[in-house]
Amino acid sequence: MKIFTALTLAALIFTGCSSESGSETSEPRTNDRLTFVNYRDIRDLNPHLYAGEMYAQEILFERLVVLTADGYAPSLAESWEISEDGLVYTFKIREGVTFHDGEKLDAFAVEKNFDALIENKARHTWLEMMRLLVSAEALDENTFQITMEAPYYPMLTELAVTRPFAIMSPAAMKDGSTKDGVEAYIGTGPYKLDSYVTDEYAIFTAYEDYWGGAPAIKEIYVKVIPDNQTRILALENGEIDLIYGKNMLDADAINKYSSSDRFEVALSEPTSTRHILLNTQNEILQDINVRMAIQHATNKEAISQGIFYGLEKPADALYSPTVPYCNVPLTAYDFNMDKAEEYLEAGGWILEGDTRVKEGRALELTLRYNSDSVTEKSIAEYLQSEYRKIGISLSILGEEEQSYRDNMKSGAFDLVFNISWGMPYDPQSSLAAMLERVYGDYEAQLGIEAKPEIDKAIHHILTSVDEAERQELYNFVLRELHYSACYLPLTYESNKALYVKELKNVGFTQSQYEVPFEKMNF
Amino acid sequence: MIKQFFQSRLSIACLVIILLFTLAGIFAPYIAPNDPYETDLMNKFSSYTREHPLGTDQLGRCVLSRLIHGIRPTLFLSLLAMAGTITLGLVMGILAGYFRGWVDEVIMRVVDVMLSFPSQIMILAVVALLGIDIRNVILANIFVKWAWYARMIRTTVIQYTGKNFVLFSKSIGSGSPYILTRHLLPCIASELVVLATLDTGWTILNISTLSFLGLGVQAPTPEWGAMLNEAKNVVTSNPGQMVAPGVAIVILIAAFNMLGDCMRDAMDPREVRN
């Protein structure tokens, strides 16, 4: 009987995930229906808050401008002018745009959106632009004007991010307010939300009156499948057409399918830096010797080759030199176990048995990882075995995404996996976010002596008008952060996609969180 | 009974298997060909070689070495949990069955409450409450399982308390401790062994299940359930990873279950012959 249970368990692992939806696979492929997969529910898609899945917010809502590889491009704003002192932005709102509910988009609707955002200003001040905002008003039906307190060079970049500056139908707001939720998710984007069941699926249908022309794929059916292997099996079985995202595919799967004749693999340019945050407030990690030792004991090349098959290149600094302003000459921490041991000895950590000890305190640290991510656990286990060699006892702890983020924000960590935000947020927005408890950065940096100066320099960067001075400040901040050894860069992460051969034009945009469905077709 | 037991080839085979696993577990550091924690990323998912007889896992660790070292948590923790369960169940069962009256009432009502919960879910709840740690898994196992033993032992004790030799012993003035240890314990021991053997399989599976779910033994300690969990993460690209820990669990649990069956048959000869 119990043997039977064991066998069923094994059988379940292999087949259980795919058995329920056999009927769908037998359906012939219709050329305008795409089945997509995500690891979690769409949740609250309110475009002015931060809870929802960004791929969904991107296809439902639009911003005034978008960021492309060639710079800013018009979206809901057809054109714009910036006053010579850099304080006043005048946008000409595109004509003939309607919301999914049929309402007309005009400057007054945009103004109502900004009113709702300003009402909840404190929540958005991680964007410096929001802090510097003086007024946002409609001059007439087609003209919208934003006035700033000081010139701010990344202003349009911040307007272009997925949230919170997405424009929704004022009719769906709750008395003109969005901070406590919205009535419906109604935007101007190429798709509208048709229906959804929490934790099961969401259906988006094409918006036929979309100003940019109705998209080729008429329906997107998004399944929720939390497990990586189940997703791949579902793709194999023809239940889904596309897996897309940074943490949705492991390198082994990519490697396996790169020569398949049924599936295509696509990789984007490096988007962000996968790194580990060392909490300088921690009693052990406040010792720079320990942080230095960890930097030198990390074999990034082995991680890049061994775990990612070279798909992700090793990273030497918090931001890739290709990120604007980040081509700063920094000395990389080379992989050198002897050097790492020297640092630990210098710090007074003496080897006793397997673990080093200093004044009765064992060198024990915990590395937290996001258990929804497909590769962090492997890296964590690898580092655990590597650090053991120099007497650092690392325990690893996987947590579900939300509690992982909460712990990070509150500083409840020794070491934690983190990512830089990628374009278009890097470096200005992610640096600005270090000024407050946005992610773990703020808490992690509090133990650095130069933290007040770093903060001051970041403030200066954001409002600086002189290009050379700005670069100088960036150099200072990046140098300080690098040599304080509180960021342990691992690899430059890429966006990944795996999809059926029939699907065409799967590409990547500047924003790593966006899935450009409207460009795809079968 | 013992003679009957040793006549069955199956039971001997099972005993040998369990013995082999136990010895391998005890002498793991001497038997295992490699260090189970030694990673070698450049050599991950390697196939069966002389150096790594069962290949390597996702971090290039030797699967065979991990399997052998995994016997320790898998088998020995299960035995520990089993021992704890039996001790608690035995004490409670004998107290209830021998003294009867209000002691019996109190213990048996608690047992009723315990038995009315589905055990797997109770274990999950207890582990969630106490925190994720292997010690808590063992505690939870004992906490949930003892009631079954208490009830069974109580019934047997009541059965024997009415027997003439116990009544006689009582009437010549033997004290309760003497009767309990000298008369009752030997009588229920054989039944207890069978039940315990059958249940060890269940406990192994249970601890492995919890480790599979990430609630039991934590990385990097090798444990069969945890190894299966890691193999699950690469099931599409490297399905072979599941074989070693999966087969090991099946063999060990099958051995325990069949051994238990054989013992039961040996104790109840009538059933064997029809």
Kindly report the CATH number assigned to the domain that includes residue A389.
3.10.105.10
Task: Say how far apart CA A420 and CA A430 lie, in whole Å.
Answer: 7
Which residues in chain B are contacts of A2 at CB distance < 8 A? 201-202, 205, 253, 257
Helix and strand numbers, DSSP H then E, in chain A: 18, 19
Residue that is last in its domain, among A178, A210, A245: A178
Nearest residue, CB atoms, A2 vs list B202, B219, B242: B202
Residue A91 has pLDDT above 90, yes or no: yes
Buried b (16+ CB within 10 A) or exposed e, A334-356: ebeeebbbebbeebebeeeeeeb
Considering the domain architecture, whether residues A382 and A485 belong to the same structural domain is answered as yes
First to last CA, chain A: 49
Residue A143, strand partner residues: A92, A140
Yes or no, beta carbons of A398 and B250 under 8 Å apart: no
Buried b (16+ CB within 10 A) or exposed e, A122-151: eebbbbbbbbbbeebebeeeeebbbebeee
Yes or no, beta carbons of B39 and A10 under 8 Å apart: no
Considering the domain architecture, whether residues A293 and A412 belong to the same structural domain is answered as yes
Residue B131 touches partner A, C-beta closer than 8 Å: no
Residue A31 maps to a domain: yes
What confidence tier does A94 reach under pLDDT thresholds 50, 70, 90? very high
pLDDT recorded at residue A20 = 42
Q: pLDDT of B24-67, one tens digit each? A: 999 999 988 888 888 888 888 888 888 888 888 888 899 999 99
Task: Say how far apart CA B214 and CA B227 lie, in whole Å.
Answer: 11
pLDDT recorded at residue A17 = 44
CA distances A2 to A506, B24, B178, B242, Å, are: 48, 24, 39, 19
Domain count, chain A: 3
Closest residue of A to B133, CA-based? A397
Residue A48 maps to a domain: no
Residue B250 touches partner A, C-beta closer than 8 Å: yes
Closest residue of B to A6, CA-based? B250
Task: Say how far apart CA A268 and CA A511 lie, in whole Å.
Answer: 11
Considering the domain architecture, whether residues A91 and A78 belong to the same structural domain is answered as yes
Considering the domain architecture, whether residues A125 and A211 belong to the same structural domain is answered as no
Question: How big is the A-B interface in CB pairs under 8 Å?
Answer: 86
Residue A94 maps to a domain: yes
Considering the domain architecture, whether residues A305 and A205 belong to the same structural domain is answered as no
Residue A47 maps to a domain: no
The answer to whether A294 touches A488, Cβ cutoff 8 Å, is yes
Residue B41 touches partner A, C-beta closer than 8 Å: yes
Task: Say how far apart CA B164 and CA B231 lie, in whole Å.
Answer: 58
Q: Which residues of A touch B (CB under 8 A)?
A: 1-3, 5-7, 9-10, 13-14, 228-229, 232-233, 236, 250, 252-253, 255-256, 302-303, 305-307, 371, 374, 377-378, 380-382, 384-386, 388, 395-396, 398
Residue A310 maps to a domain: yes
First to last CA, chain B: 17
Give the sign of the dihedral formed by CA A220, CA A226, CA A231, CA A234: negative
Residue that is last in its domain, among A156, A178, A200: A178
Going by the DSSP 8-state scheme, the letter that residue A19 receives in this structure is: G
Considering the domain architecture, whether residues A90 and A173 belong to the same structural domain is answered as yes
Question: Residue A124 is which amino acid?
Answer: H
The answer to whether B112 touches B169, Cβ cutoff 8 Å, is no
pTM of the model: 0.81
Written as six digits, the tokens of A356 are 């080093």
The answer to whether A294 touches A278, Cβ cutoff 8 Å, is yes
Residue A102's domain spans which residues? 54-178
Which residues in chain A are contacts of B42 at CB distance < 8 A? 302, 305-306
Residue A9 has pLDDT above 90, yes or no: no
What confidence tier does B270 reach under pLDDT thresholds 50, 70, 90? low
3-state secondary structure A375-408: CHHHHHHHHHHHHHCCCCEEEEEEECHHHHHHHH
Residue that is last in its domain, among A178, A201, A233: A178
ipTM of the complex: 0.76
Which residues in chain A are contacts of B58 at CB distance < 8 A? 252, 378
Q: pLDDT of A266-313, one tens digit each? A: 988 888 899 999 999 999 999 999 999 999 999 999 999 988 888 889
pLDDT recorded at residue B52 = 86
Written as six digits, the tokens of B42 are 């450049």
Average pLDDT over residues B206-231: 87
Q: pLDDT of A300-357, one tens digit each? A: 999 999 888 888 899 999 998 888 889 999 999 999 999 999 999 999 999 988 899 9
A256, A308, A372, A381, best to mutate vs chain B, most B CBs in 10 Å: A381
Considering the domain architecture, whether residues A77 and A30 belong to the same structural domain is answered as no
Residue A399 has pLDDT above 50, yes or no: yes
Degrees, nearest 5: CA angle A367-A370-A373: 125
Question: Residue A503 is which amino acid?
Answer: L
Residue A49 maps to a domain: no
Question: Residue B36 is which amino acid?
Answer: P
Helix locations, A365-519, DSSP H:
376-388, 401-409, 428-432, 441-445, 451-463, 467-483
Rounded to a whole number, what is the distance in Å from the CA of A227 to chain B's nearest CA?
8
pLDDT recorded at residue A19 = 41
How many CB atoms sit inside 10 A of residue B70's CB? 28
Task: Say how far apart CA A134 and CA A358 lie, in whole Å.
Answer: 54
- % of chain A beyond a pLDDT of 90: 52
Considering the domain architecture, whether residues A173 and A70 belong to the same structural domain is answered as yes
Task: Say how far apart CA A344 and CA A390 lie, in whole Å.
Answer: 9
pLDDT recorded at residue A285 = 93
pLDDT recorded at residue A265 = 92
Residue A1 maps to a domain: no
Element (H, E) at B9: helix B9-26
What confidence tier does A150 reach under pLDDT thresholds 50, 70, 90? confident
The answer to whether A510 touches A67, Cβ cutoff 8 Å, is yes
What confidence tier does A223 reach under pLDDT thresholds 50, 70, 90? very high
pLDDT recorded at residue B269 = 56
Written as six digits, the tokens of B204 are 């192994």
Pairing label, strands A364-370, A393-399 = parallel
Stretch among A16-20, A515-519, B249-253 having the lowest mean pLDDT: A16-20
Residue A183 maps to a domain: no
What DSSP string describes A236-274?
A: HTTS-SEEESTTS--HHHHHHHTT-SSEEEEEEEEEEEE
Q: What is the CATH number of the domain that holds A219?
A: 3.40.190.10
Considering the domain architecture, whether residues A217 and A296 belong to the same structural domain is answered as no
Considering the domain architecture, whether residues A10 and A141 belong to the same structural domain is answered as no
Written as six digits, the tokens of A226 are 């939390």
What confidence tier does B122 reach under pLDDT thresholds 50, 70, 90? confident
Considering the domain architecture, whether residues A344 and A356 belong to the same structural domain is answered as yes
The answer to whether A72 touches A160, Cβ cutoff 8 Å, is yes
What confidence tier does B16 reach under pLDDT thresholds 50, 70, 90? very high
The answer to whether B166 touches B160, Cβ cutoff 8 Å, is yes
How many CB atoms sit inside 10 A of residue A86's CB? 14
Written as six digits, the tokens of B231 are 């193999």
Yes or no, beta carbons of B250 and A305 under 8 Å apart: no
Element (H, E) at A115: helix A107-119
Considering the domain architecture, whether residues A215 and A79 belong to the same structural domain is answered as no
Residue A90, strand partner residues: A81, A145
Residue B274 has pLDDT above 60, yes or no: no
